[in-house]
Amino acid sequence: MTVIATFVLLINDHLLKHLWPGLVTGKLSDLAGLMVAPPLLALARVPALAAVIATGLGFTLVKTTQAGAEAASQAWTLLAGPSRVLADPTDLITLPALAAAWLIWRRCQSEQAVRRARTLIIVPIALIAVTATAPEGASRWSATTGVSVDGDAITVFFESDYDGPYVSRDGGQTWEVPPPRSTPVVYPRPRPRTQDCVPGEPAHCYRVDPPRLAVQESRDGGRTWSAAWQLSEGREDMLRRRYGPAGEHLWTGSQAIAVQKTAGGHVVVAANGSDGIAVRDESGAWQRLGASGDGFSPEAAESLRPSDVNLEPERTMGFFAGLLVFLAGVGAAFRSGKAAVVFAVIASALISAGFLMTLRGMGEPYLIVNLPSILGGACALLGLIFAVIAAMAVRPNGWTWLFLLVTPPATMLTVWSLFSGWTQGAPDDYSTAVWLSCLAVIIGVATTVTAGYRGRRPIARENSRLEIMTGGDPEDPA
């Protein structure tokens, strides 16, 4: 079974992901990888149980933290060339594959089976390590900075001297690409024009307005302008996020524009900086094209609904929002009991400290590990433990416990879902996702506070803290 999983991983990563990229092939890769990794660790004489546990912990770290994903990306790049591993907590649903790996090991404990497994596994695993590939996210091509028209030729210039220029002689339908080169070649670049008019029609003009990714059109010589083509601000924000913390610096928006007169009308080409180009054909239809080694094409354009946008800050906020909802409900359930108050105060202090440390670690580059985020997460988890102890000391009724256990994770998942939806365009605007998340948190807090207040019980002074923690019956305050 392990050998089968190895070849499934090989075929899936090399063929299926390219033919049918998406949820199914992504999860299939994770399932097969989790079955292959423990036997691979066992090649180094790691005990089977330790190999399974190490695989599970490593997979969880990679899929739930951006630091873990980046470390895995760098390690895989050293082995297999440019690669990108994505942090996606939904991939944790494949962890049961480790149980299958463990059961397989329990049934194949003979030395002969182990030697056979080593022989069959090591070769395909080495092949995968050398040749497996993964999408790298944002395009490696430099920004387009200028465009010019000379007769029937439309030339697009790049920021880097290693790329381009690309030339089209059929109105932007196909593009001539220079051969690859290892040394820069300096081409004379015209001064970028942010406005150009249709030859022979001076009143019909087009212009770009950086840093927006948009083209405006005027038919009255520039007195009034209307949008001819543009991306929504929400999709622009999403594209910026594809470049990571440096996105604001790398993003340039539309930079230059040129208009070519043709027999059937006119063609417009806008150099869109980091996003490639936009082309208006003779019929008036616009296309957004990305750069590749074969020229400009719609297929090379960055997806407007990607699945690998870094949402670590939003997921972190959702996690702490869930803690806030739980802590608010516990606080509302208080009526008396000093021990519960002490535990709740400690929980609040730890969660607050964890939140501040995590904020400190967001967006900061770290060589090996993001220590503030790790410490912040540890404080938050410890605070959650104290909050649970405080809730046990309060001894709420069953319905209150139900709301305390269900509402916080529901709030957290709602926040995560809203921002995941934003990457897919629903909602399109980032600020809408923020406001809806705030509303979800308010509803969550109101729910747990109401449940805690209505379900609280009077608690007398406890004989000892140990009695509370072990569930001893409190004295009757009456």
* 256 pLDDT tier (thresholds 50, 70, 90): very high
* 337 pLDDT tier (thresholds 50, 70, 90): low
Averaging pLDDT over each range in 31-40, 278-287, 362-371, which range is the top one?
A: 278-287
Lowest mean pLDDT among 47-51, 211-215, 335-339, 374-378: 335-339
Residue 58 pairs in a beta bridge with none
* 76 pLDDT tier (thresholds 50, 70, 90): low
Q: What is the pLDDT of residues 284-305, one digit of tens each?
A: 999 999 998 889 999 989 888 8
pLDDT higher than threshold 80 for residue 174: yes
Q: What is the pLDDT of residues 230-251, one digit of tens each?
A: 999 889 888 887 765 545 556 7
**pLDDT number for residue 369:** 56
pLDDT higher than threshold 80 for residue 31: no
**CA 299 distance to own-chain centroid:** 21
Percent of the chain whose pLDDT exceeds 90: 35
* 50 pLDDT tier (thresholds 50, 70, 90): confident
**pLDDT number for residue 2:** 54
Q: How far apart are CA 179 and CA 63, in angstroms?
A: 39
**pLDDT number for residue 397:** 86
Q: How far apart are CA 268 and CA 149, in angstroms?
A: 10
**pLDDT number for residue 366:** 53
Per the omega criterion (within 30 degrees of 0), is the bond before 190 cis? Answer: no
Closest CA to 468 of 339, 381, 377: 339
Lowest mean pLDDT among 183-187, 195-199, 278-282, 355-359: 183-187
**pLDDT number for residue 11:** 55
Higher pLDDT, 41 or 429: 429
Higher pLDDT, 360 or 113: 360
Exposed / middle / buried, residue 423 (Cβ in 10 Å: 0-12, 13-18, 19+): buried
Closest CA to 314 of 399, 142, 436, 221: 436
* 13 pLDDT tier (thresholds 50, 70, 90): low
**pLDDT number for residue 475:** 45
C-alpha distance from residue 166 to each of 73, 297, 373 (Å):
32, 12, 44
Lowest mean pLDDT among 27-31, 175-179, 278-282, 387-391: 27-31
Q: How far apart are CA 354 and CA 375, in angstroms?
A: 7
pLDDT (average), residues 363-392: 79
What region, left, alpha or beta, does residue 151 occupy, with left being phi > 0 and alpha being psi -120 to 50 degrees? left
**pLDDT number for residue 274:** 84
* 83 pLDDT tier (thresholds 50, 70, 90): low
Lowest mean pLDDT among 118-127, 375-384, 422-431: 118-127
**pLDDT number for residue 169:** 95
**pLDDT number for residue 86:** 67
Q: What is the pLDDT of residues 297-328, one digit of tens each?
A: 999 898 888 877 778 889 989 999 999 999 99
Average pLDDT, rounded, for the chain: 78
Q: Are strands 286-292 and 295-297 parallel, antiparallel or unpaired?
A: antiparallel
Give ∠ CA 264-265-271 in degrees, rounded to 5.
120
Whole-structure pTM value: 0.60
* 377 pLDDT tier (thresholds 50, 70, 90): confident
Tokens of 122: 């090591």
* 22 pLDDT tier (thresholds 50, 70, 90): low
pLDDT (average), residues 387-392: 89
pLDDT (average), residues 444-463: 75
pLDDT (average), residues 102-127: 53
**pLDDT number for residue 18:** 47
**pLDDT number for residue 24:** 66
Cβ-proximal residues to 436 (8 Å cutoff; 6+ apart), any chain: 418, 427
Length of the chain: 478
C-alpha distance from residue 22 to each of 13, 18, 298, 453 (Å):
12, 9, 19, 45
Higher pLDDT, 259 or 251: 259
**pLDDT number for residue 81:** 45
**SS3 assignment, position 441:** helix
Q: How far apart are CA 148 and CA 157, in angstroms?
A: 8
**pLDDT number for residue 459:** 46
